[in-house]
A = this chain, B = another copy of it.
């Protein structure tokens, strides 16, 4: 019904021309097999899977939703979801980025992110089923005992089982220190897990023979708060140390949520009633383990935002070309037609260019962050690995926070371009807006991302990642200072980068005097930082286009989109800067009763 074509040309441009991934992967130990040819072949197959298998069941999945049968505590996914999952597993997609020693194909996470963008563009609801497995794989890789890795990791990597992350409880979402789920040690070294978890994505479904839950719970002697939380692996069907499937475990879905969007992605209340589980990692260190996974999951949700921006753009553009309505302000452009297409109207173009700037600029940002992750994981050079880790750590809240927020704007614009038709379910674009709406909420709201960025990544840790990033932009500006074609970008980029740096220093001072300054500035600082980061990646895109052998129209489009971004989007930082400088008093002065 609505269209999707994986943006392979732009992906290749971002990956190879802008970011130089070809050379990078060749020199990173363990990623040598990721040659440009292999990557091309993988991406072409991934594109087909997304376009031909997932996109056609996106709208129907939204209409049907998931259905809970209370009596059997089982969930039926929409038509075609199970078959699509089987195709995914048969195609080897679940093993794409798992290291070879765990039976995977060992491709870079960056490539996994691109495949994920395709999947999320095509069908973000479906994408949540395999996505959640990623966390289990990470946890088991990092913290699992050998028998746990043998018993759990292989079937998850193979896609025969899926994983979940069970954090939230009714009274605690962000504030995990409040959680109550208990874990009692049993004689055989396992634990009995009891409690209720909510908002569990893919907590129950019919895609696989088993589901593995990563559960945060408290040991009997655990200290209160976040320092008394441990991580357990709790399968739906018990798993012997020999890896054999046993009887049904004492856990079940209690109900499923009726949501605004991602209706085909099931969101469960999970009841654990003395379920058998196994400790992963050290006692009371569960939150640390979970945070490692959450960082990856946050990047992944940022990619969901990116996927929806791209999908919204493609459909809005197609509609703007087809739909005839009114004449151009400068006179008819298609006098033989009853009216001109929407694409002639300046504000329709403004919205389309906004989407295009966010999709293509956001893609470079996301892939850059993932490449830092790959560097951190694979580089043989310790200093380089550390730098990569600091950069990805710094950029994760920006990728997650910014791209999911821009997905709100882009899906809004798509509906707006469709006009009244955009509000009707059958045209499909309103679904993108509803689906996108979850992305600023789960895996930490934008507020959480913003506090993570400013409070933790910039101020608390001395801003190592920011310093690397600022240094890199400065180097780029100097390097390109004499490239005439880049003057219109490099000059303003140097200015906003300096202002960003100064603003950060101001904030650091103010925050020392008053911690509320961090919270009062955080969201605006996230946007500010994100818009500057996009400006950097747009300048790099133009630089890469200059020397690229891609068609002239593609290269010229990069320049024109960058120009649009610099002149019409980037000035938003002035509003955010002013809001930040207004300080915390403007927010904190009002008493409770004065709110009304």
Contacts and interface: CB of A to CB of B under 8 A. Distances in A.
A324 interface: yes
Contact of A345 (B425, B446, B447, B590): B447
A144 to B, nearest CB: 28
A168 interface: yes
Interface in A316-346: 317, 321, 324-326, 328-330, 338-339, 343, 345-346
Given A425-B260, A595-B317, A416 B446 contact: yes
A349 B588 contact: yes
Interface in A253-271: 257-261
A258 B595 contact: no
Interface string A511-534: 000111011101100000000000
A interface, over-half SS: helix
A175 B324 CA distance: 9
B430 A416 contact: no
Interface string A173-216: 11101100000000000000000000100000000000000000
Q: How many copies does the complex hold?
A: 2
A383 interface: no
Contacts of A450: 347
A557 B594 contact: yes
A419 B174 contact: yes
A339 B440 contact: no
A568 interface: yes
Interface in A487-510: none
Contacts of A118: none
Contacts of A174: 325-326, 419
Interface in A526-559: 553-554, 556-557
A422 to B, nearest CB: 7
A44 interface: no
A592 B321 contact: yes
Interface in A542-596: 553-554, 556-557, 560-561, 563-564, 567-569, 571-575, 578-579, 582, 584, 586-596
Given A171-B324, A434-B434, A586 B574 contact: no
21 contacts: A173-B325, A173-B420, A199-B420, A259-B423, A329-B516, A343-B595, A346-B516, A347-B519, A350-B520, A350-B523, A353-B586, A415-B437, A416-B446, A423-B438, A433-B437, A553-B591, A567-B579, A567-B582, A568-B582, A573-B575, A574-B578
Given A260-B434, A343-B592, A343-B595, 14 more contacts: A168-B420, A173-B421, A260-B415, A260-B433, A346-B584, A346-B587, A349-B587, A416-B446, A553-B593, A557-B595, A560-B590, A569-B579, A571-B575, A573-B575
